[in-house]
Amino acid sequence: MVTARRQPVSTVAFIDNYCQHYYSVFEDVRHFEAFKFLHLGILSEIKRKTLPEIAKTVGLKDSQTLHHFLRDALWDIKKLREIRLWVTKMFIGEREIILCIDETGGQKKGKSTDYVTRQYIGNLGKIENGIVSVNAYGVVDGITYPLIFQIFKPKNRLKEGDKYKSKPQIAVEIIQELKEWGFKIKLVLADSLYGESGDVIRCLEKLELEFIVAIRSNHGVLMPPGSRKR
């Protein structure tokens, strides 16, 4: 006898409508509900987005449901990301985006989290123990859309099967993937980490993308025809 899957509890209409795109990713309806509760908590006005605070805000008796979801739930990360990019692309449509490439990081204690080590964290402006990701954002009509991020994996924290990629190499992969998705890129913006990378500049020129990138005052560069430096 097959038992019908019960319907997930409702939250807020716009969150329910958005999260419904991801319903097939989760085999357990309780995990899908936790997925929705996290969205509701993150978009709420609470200052600290901790699991206990989110649980209290969404009406759960404690944070165990959310904790078990993050720790134990199984889902296909690739499929989840593909759905999110598809939804974003569907909403943007044929409008051109300004693509911003940057890295960000978070300070962390210890090294229990994968790829945490002492490294430069741009948003802190110094070397700290933490984790760093390379991120791509699309700006359309004054609205910023998070598109793709990849965790930077330092050489001293690589796991079996990992392949080291520099941040510019990750940026190249991200730009190529967004082009394959069909995003129409009007302009690419990036700081000197990427502006001084031959890999990134060659990628942008090959894809015939206009770009504005930063370079340091002591960095020599051959200017392509039609380019200018300020």
Based on the fold, state whether residues 65 and 106 are members of the same structural domain.
Answer: no
Q: pLDDT > 70: what percent of the chain? A: 96
123 or 33: which carries more pLDDT confidence?
A: 33
Based on the fold, state whether residues 207 and 132 are members of the same structural domain.
Answer: yes
Q: How many domains is the chain partitioned into structurally?
A: 2
Per-residue pLDDT reduced to its tens digit, 139-167: 999 999 999 999 999 999 999 999 999 99
d(Cα 176, Cα 173) in Å, to the nearest integer?
5
Asked if pLDDT for residue 1 goes beyond 70, the answer is no
Residue 220 in any domain: the answer is no
Per-residue pLDDT reduced to its tens digit, 183-209: 999 999 999 999 999 999 999 999 999
Sign of CA dihedral 14, 143, 201, 219: negative
Give the DSSP per-residue string, 188-221. Answer: EEE-HHHHT-HHHHHHHHHTT--EEE---TT---
Per-residue pLDDT reduced to its tens digit, 60-110: 999 999 999 999 998 898 999 999 999 999 999 999 999 999 999 988 888
Based on the fold, state whether residues 37 and 113 are members of the same structural domain.
Answer: no
- What pLDDT does residue 123 have? 80
Q: Which of 186, 176, 211 is nearest to 98 (CA)?
A: 186
Q: Which of 101, 119, 102 is nearest to 111 (CA)?
A: 119
Based on the fold, state whether residues 130 and 25 are members of the same structural domain.
Answer: no
Q: Residue 115 gets which letter from DSSP?
A: T
Mean pLDDT along residues 28-34: 94
Based on the fold, state whether residues 204 and 107 are members of the same structural domain.
Answer: yes
Based on the fold, state whether residues 30 and 133 are members of the same structural domain.
Answer: no
Which pair of structure tokens corresponds to residue 189? 């913006």
Based on the fold, state whether residues 67 and 100 are members of the same structural domain.
Answer: no
Based on the fold, state whether residues 64 and 101 are members of the same structural domain.
Answer: no
Task: Look up the pTM and report it.
Answer: 0.85
Which residues span the domain enclosing 67? 13-72
